[in-house]
């Protein structure tokens, strides 16, 4: 393959802080704010998105719905800037992480949703997450937001469009441990080879 068909981006590190921690209660979609979050290899124990495996849905049309696959979506990661941008685009006063099932809110990372797959998030207290990729917005999140703003029939589907590439990331637990509010996170972006062939 000619060298011009591949573009290389060097590895680098950035720092973030944990600004919010959340988990689901029972089988609900929305999350509640908590002070610390215990991560195991199965993700967040008892959380709706926890488990070593998961069942496929509309995000994996290449498998029959309900096929069991590895769970690479154990943790939903968001940032305040992107949430504010989506709220502004939708003419809403706010969108809270809890409403859309977020587990982790990070500050200090502009354009969080654009971090590449394989990015490693190393937390001050020892846990680490491996980014699988961006979290495509869904109508379920739109419905949860719409429930807070009666009379706005445009929100459920409008969220999908407004939050595209601003919905945050999904990740899986690489090293178990406890996350705490305010702790430092070292984000290690991998060297990337952008295939343009």
* Residue found by looking up tokens 């009666």 in the block: 150
Q: What is the pLDDT averaged over residues 110-138?
A: 95
pLDDT band for 1, please (50, 70, 90 cuts). Answer: very low
Q: What is the pLDDT averaged over residues 127-135?
A: 96
CA nearest to 80, candidates 17, 137, 128: 17
**Average pLDDT across the chain, whole number:** 93
Distance CA 159, CA 157 (A): 5
The whole-number pLDDT of residue 44 equals 93
pLDDT band for 4, please (50, 70, 90 cuts). Answer: low
Q: What is the pLDDT averaged over residues 107-129?
A: 96
Between 59 and 26, name the one with better pLDDT: 59
| pTM for the model | 0.92
Tokens of 75: 């943790």
pLDDT band for 30, please (50, 70, 90 cuts). Answer: very high
CA atoms within 13 A on the CB side of 93: 2
The whole-number pLDDT of residue 134 equals 94
Tokens of 90: 């939708």
What percentage of the chain exceeds 90 in pLDDT? 82
pLDDT band for 5, please (50, 70, 90 cuts). Answer: confident
Given a cut of 80, whether residue 2 has pLDDT beyond it is no
Tens of pLDDT, residues 156-174: 999 999 999 999 999 999 9
**Ramachandran region of residue 87, left (φ > 0), alpha (ψ -120 to 50) or beta?**
alpha
């Amino acid at each position: 393959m000619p060298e011009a068909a591949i573009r290389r981006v060097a590895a680098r590190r950035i720092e973030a802080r944990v600004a919010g921690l959340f988990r689901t209660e029972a089988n609900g979609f929305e999350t509640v704010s908590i002070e610390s979050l215990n991560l195991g290899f199965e993700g967040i124990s008892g959380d709706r998105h926890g488990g070593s495996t998961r069942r496929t849905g509309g995000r994996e049309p290449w498998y029959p719905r309900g096929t069991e696959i590895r769970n690479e979506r154990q943790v939903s990661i968001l940032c305040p800037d992107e949430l504010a941008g989506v709220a502004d685009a939708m003419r809403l006063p706010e969108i809270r992480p809890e409403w859309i099932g977020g587990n982790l809110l990070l500050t200090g990372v502009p354009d969080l949703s654009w971090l590449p797959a394989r990015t490693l998030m190393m937390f001050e207290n020892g846990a680490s997450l491996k980014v699988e990729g961006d979290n495509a917005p869904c109508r379920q999140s739109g419905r949860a937001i719409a429930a807070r703003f009666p009379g706005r029939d445009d929100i459920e589907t409008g969220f999908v469009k407004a939050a595209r590439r601003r919905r945050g990331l999904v990740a899986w637990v690489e090293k178990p441990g406890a996350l705490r509010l305010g702790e430092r996170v070292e984000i290690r972006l991998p060297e990337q080879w952008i295939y343009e062939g």
